[in-house]
Amino acid sequence: MSLNEEVELLRRIPLFAKIEPSKLKLLAFTSERLTFPTGSTLFRQGDPGDAAYIIISGDADIIVETPSGPLKVAQLHGNDFVGEIAILCDVPRTATVQAASPLTTLRISKDLFFRLVTEFPQMAIEIMRVLAQRLERTTADWRAVAEKLKQTT
Amino acid sequence: MEHSLYKFIIKYSLRQQIILTVLSVASFIPYYYFLDIPKAIVNKGISSKGVTYPVDIAGLGLFQLDKVGYLLWLCGVFLFLVLVQQAFKYAINVYQGISGERMLRRMRYELYSRVMRFPLPTFKKMSQGEIIPMITAEVEPLGGFIAESFALPIFQGGMLLVTFAFLMVQNWMMGLAGVALYPLQFYFIPKLQRKVNALGKERVKGARRLADRIGETISGVQEVHAHHGSHRLRAEFARRLGAIYWVRYEIYQRKFVIKFINNFIQQLGPFFFYAIGGYLVIQGSLDVGTIVAAVAAQKEMGGPWKELLTHYQAREDARIKYEQIIAQFAPEGMRPPEQQLLEPEQIPNLNGDIVLSNVSFTDDHGTSVVDGVTVTLPNPGSTAVVGGMGRDELLLLIARLLDPSRGKIMIGGADIAEMPEAITGRRTTFIGASSYMFNSTIADNLLFGLRQRPLKLRDYDGAEKRRFDRETGEALASGNSAEDPAADWTDYAAAGVDGPDGLTAATLKALATASFDDDVYQLGLRGVIDPARDPELAARIMEARQAFRARLDDPAVAALVEIWDRARYNDNATVAENLLFGTPVGDKFDLERIASNKYMLSVLDKVGLKDRFLAIGYDVAKTMVELFADLPPDHEFFQQFSFISSDDLPEFKDILARTSPDKFAQISDADRGRLMSLPFKLIPARHRLGHLDADFKALVIKAREVFAADLPADLKGAVAFFDPEQYTRAANLLDNILFGKVGYGQAQAAERVGMLTADVIRDLDLRPTITQVGLNYEVGIGGSRLSSAQRQKLAIARAALKRPDILLLSEATATLDAATQTRIMDSLFEAFQGKGIIWSLHRAAQAERFDRILVIADGRLVEQGKFAELNRDGTEFHKLLART
């Protein structure tokens, strides 16, 4: 896949949808494309966060370590963005991400990510929007769970 | 060294001085005849005054010469005398040069030896920048002076006397008049000269300060950059240069005044001759010829007289300089030479308790850094020193690197102050918080602690032996060390081994003790060897290459390394590497120059790649300008990612504006060159710019063949081609094992490749061999190519290899991480079991395992005892523990 195709791919990701193509090209050029064989991990829960990943192709599982053993909480597919929380908030990884099939990703290092965010305010706004949406969705989920809990008790 | 220059000269060069003097005086004889012969040629040869022909030369009737023959004979004698006279001059000059050089060598050697005997605190006041010019530049003129110190005044004085005598014979009044003013000169000139000499000294000091400043700037260059201090430093430097300028200015003024007066007095002679002599001629009591002769003779005298005066001034100068240097090189508390020169046959072990009685140390400000410490330390045994100021000095005192101002330190009943360094330097080792490494290999630095004297002499024969003997003789003639640095100095017995073979194992063990083994192994992996000199190692690395290759057959790891294959394009390598299909040796084909290499360009042209390169270069430039144009020039992306530096970007912008693919036919050579240089750096797997299609790659493979086949003879050495069956000579060990490029885009590729190679190396038991290669790593000036942690580990490994009886560590591991600190402490305790360890610790908590703990506060010993005894409420130690 060439740089131009990667740029096309990045544009399909909501986070980057509104960023000019030339900036996306820089992002693609300066980030590393990494492939993971099935079963290998992108990162582990508790590790320090050093990079975020964009899934180019393949699937990955998000696994949370619980006292009763690992629990798969979600699956990632092409165009998904993962690992940004740890680099944004400087907290350890909140979950483990594992390749569920041969996986191709674009790895954006922490430095690069911050540089892009500070240099291109549109990107920061986009990230805020995505995070806000996620928060809204989580709140809704949480409300639903609370409702359910209330009904069962 | 003697306190006065003349004593020094007489003591060490009396013989040379006598020979030189005799030679000088002897040269008067041909000189006299030389002066006489022109007269003979004119009067006898040409004018035939009082000559009857034929002339019988030898008086035996054998050589009968007619008029022309006699003239030629006399001219021949003239030529012969010229030769003899010049031969004398030659002999005197050469011999003078040699004697001066020997004395200079002796002086430098002595000064250097003294520097090594200076007490350590001296170096707080005296910097390298001051010491170095004294030994190198300032003593230089002394050598020249010494060589002529006796011969010159005798020679010139003799000449003066001869001429004076001649003058006296002509007319005694004239003779006296000629020298009448000499006392005046002799009185005034030195007086004036004294001030100039003082200024000269000032200038030397100024130059020394300048050197000192330059040295400091170089040492602190990082600080200069970090604080933008260059501005101020330049200003300061300018002032220092100014100071020298003004001194010089004054010197010039005075110097030329002296010259003025000198010449004036000199010309007073003729003045008197003409005035008085002229008067006498008018009066009729003197003839004109005498005045002319007197003036001529006075002129003759002028030369030697001037030389004598100059010599007198130089002597004053040399004397002062010598005394000044000697004073500088005799600081208070300097160790006597015997302490370093004595090499007892038996080196006693330093076993037995270390007893300090009332030991104090006062620094140069008069502060008591160590104050009345009286204590007995167990030896063998371990002692921790914790607390505040004075810990470091206490250890330095026990290691005898500092001398106590008061008190005594005994080890096993012997006073260490009495011991030669041969004992203390072998039986104790001090490691401070930062250790210095010499600019050599790791191995040399490791063995520094084992090389105290030559143990196995090197055998020389033939021409080498003659050269060696000559050098030895010369060294002895200058009072230098005649020992051979190329002999084997390594004390294998001290390391507990039989010889070089055993040393390898001991070295590896010492590296492990200091946790330095992995660093050296890694350096070894990146080390380059010469397969011609070490075919065995090269063969083993080739084995590793095959084994590694076999591992890559596993599809799970196959993509980690892309192996070099002559028939295939390597996507993980640069275009340049693909074209060369080898490693550049030297700089002919390195990445920055390859694009301008004429041969490379001719190869590209031959396979029809030239236009493709231009087109791709144009595209790459366009992409780079597009990507990076908006970034500020100092953005680190340029360095990390761009093919074009920020400085060059505008230029490429212009090139792009000037040309376009349809105008390539008219492009200028310079623009073409710039654009064509870009594709060489492309790595398809990394840059993903999509320029390199199958067609291009096929052409590159073709170019690769052409390149190798037509390589001109003068470039044969500039590239080491890849060959799966051959060790690549310019590439490092790791690259030789991999024989390929680590694949881009593979998760954790570097770690996984590292693990694979580690497996291969373990299977083949190559690790010790690779570590040995790492031992040949050059550490750079002051060890600067190692990290500070690595330097400390090297210092610890050096101590572990030397196995002293007493190991002293002053926060030696403080720069290392906590885990490594603990590991090193464990291994040192194991390695030094049954010996003495004294460790000054920053963190009191680390003191638990020690037999004895000393708590120092403000240079005083406030508590001592075992950990359990001290670890209770109310003790200083408890407070220290709580603090960490």
Q: How far apart are CA B676 and CA B619, in angstroms?
A: 11
Distance from CA of B623 to the nearest CA of A (A): 9
pLDDT of residue B717: 84
Give residue-wise pLDDT tens across range B88-139.
Answer: 889 988 998 999 999 999 999 999 999 999 999 888 888 888 888 889 888 9
| CB within 8 Å of chain A, chain B residues 598-657 | 623, 626-628, 630, 637, 640-641
Q: Report, as an integer, the average pLDDT of B344-349.
A: 88
Most confident of A109-113, B292-296, B545-549: B545-549
What is the band of B395 on the pLDDT scale with cuts at 50, 70, 90? very high
Angle, CA A38 vertex, CA A35 and CA A42 arms, to 5°: 55
Angle, CA B857 vertex, CA B851 and CA B859 arms, to 5°: 100
What secondary structure does DSSP assign to B39-71, as a single string? HHIIIIIIT-TT--SSEESSSSSS-EE-HHHHH
What is the band of B873 on the pLDDT scale with cuts at 50, 70, 90? confident
Give residue-wise pLDDT tens across range B843-858.
Answer: 888 999 999 999 999 9
Q: Is residue B432 part of a domain?
A: yes
pLDDT of residue B297: 67
What secondary structure does DSSP assign to B135-174, as a single string? IIIITHHHHHHHHTTTHHHHHHHHHHHHHHHHHHHH-HHH
Q: Is residue B458 part of a domain?
A: no
Please report, for the domain that includes residue A70, its CATH number: 2.60.120.10
B317 and B238: one domain?
yes
Q: Is residue B477 part of a domain?
A: no
Query: Has residue B167 got a pLDDT over 80?
Result: no
Q: Is residue B450 part of a domain?
A: no
B794 and B773: one domain?
no
CB contact under 8 A, B626 and A40: no
Q: Report, as an integer, the average pLDDT of B530-539.
A: 90
Residues of B in contact with A4 (CB under 8 A): 690
Residues of A in contact with B688 (CB under 8 A): 1-3, 6, 28-29, 33
Distance from CA of A8 to the nearest CA of B (A): 14
Please report, for the domain that includes residue B820, its CATH number: 3.40.50.300
Residues of B in contact with A28 (CB under 8 A): 688
- For residue B690, give the nearest of A4, A25, A30 by CB distance: A4
- For residue B688, give the nearest of A3, A35, A36 by CB distance: A3
pLDDT of residue B355: 95
Most confident of A41-55, B413-427, B548-562: B413-427
B168 and B193: one domain?
yes
Mean pLDDT score across all residues of chain B: 88
Integer Rg of chain A from CA: 17
B716 and B740: one domain?
no
Structural domain harbouring B547: 528-564+722-779
pLDDT of residue B421: 92
Query: Has residue A42 got a pLDDT over 80?
Result: yes
pLDDT of residue B884: 64
Range scoring the smallest mean pLDDT among A31-40, A113-122, B73-82, B791-800: A113-122
Range scoring the smallest mean pLDDT among B51-65, B231-245, B754-768: B51-65
Q: Are B325 and B141 in contact (CB under 8 A)?
A: no
Q: Is B361 helix (H, G, I), strand (E, B) or coil?
A: strand
Give residue-wise pLDDT tens across range A7-16.
Answer: 887 888 777 7
Beta-sheet strand order (sheet of B836-840)? B428-431, B806-810, B836-840, B381-387, B852-857, B860-865
Q: Say how many domains are in chain B.
A: 4
B310 and B396: one domain?
no
Q: Is residue B516 part of a domain?
A: no
Q: Is residue B461 part of a domain?
A: no
Q: Report, as an integer, the average pLDDT of A138-148.
A: 88
Give residue-wise pLDDT tens across range B598-612.
Answer: 899 899 988 888 888
Query: Has residue A40 got a pLDDT over 80?
Result: yes
pLDDT of residue B632: 75
Range scoring the smallest mean pLDDT among B188-202, B368-382, B549-563, B764-778: B188-202
pLDDT of residue B650: 86
Within 8 A by CB and 6+ apart from B314, the residues are: B145
Residues of B in contact with A6 (CB under 8 A): 688
- For residue A2, give the nearest of B630, B690, B744 by CB distance: B690
Q: Say how many domains are in chain A.
A: 1
Task: Output the CA–CA distances (angstroms, integers) from residue B390 to A9, B370, B856, B859, B865, in the order listed.
Answer: 66, 5, 7, 5, 18
* Greatest alpha-carbon span in chain A: 56
Could you give the angle at which helices B172-179 and B230-272 cross, rounded to 10 degrees? 160
Structural domain harbouring A93: 3-152
| CB within 8 Å of chain A, chain B residues 535-574 | 556, 559
A contact set with B (CB within 8 A): 1-4, 6, 22, 25-26, 28-30, 32-37, 40, 42, 115
Give residue-wise pLDDT tens across range A96-109.
Answer: 999 999 998 988 88
Residues of B in contact with A37 (CB under 8 A): 556
B538 and B624: one domain?
no
pLDDT of residue B444: 94
Q: How far apart are CA B68 and CA B70, in angstroms?
A: 5
- Beta bridge partners, B297, equal none
Please report, for the domain that includes residue B32, its CATH number: 1.20.1560.10
Q: Is residue B335 part of a domain?
A: no
What percent of chain B is modeled with pLDDT above 70?
A: 98
Q: Are B174 and B290 in contact (CB under 8 A)?
A: yes
- Beta bridge partners, B562, equal B741
Q: Is residue B620 part of a domain?
A: yes
Give residue-wise pLDDT tens across range B6-49.
Answer: 999 999 989 989 998 898 888 877 777 776 777 778 777 787 77
CB contact under 8 A, B744 and A32: yes
Burial grade of B130 (CB within 10 A; 0-12, 13-18, 19 or more): middle
Tokens linked to B710: 């037509």
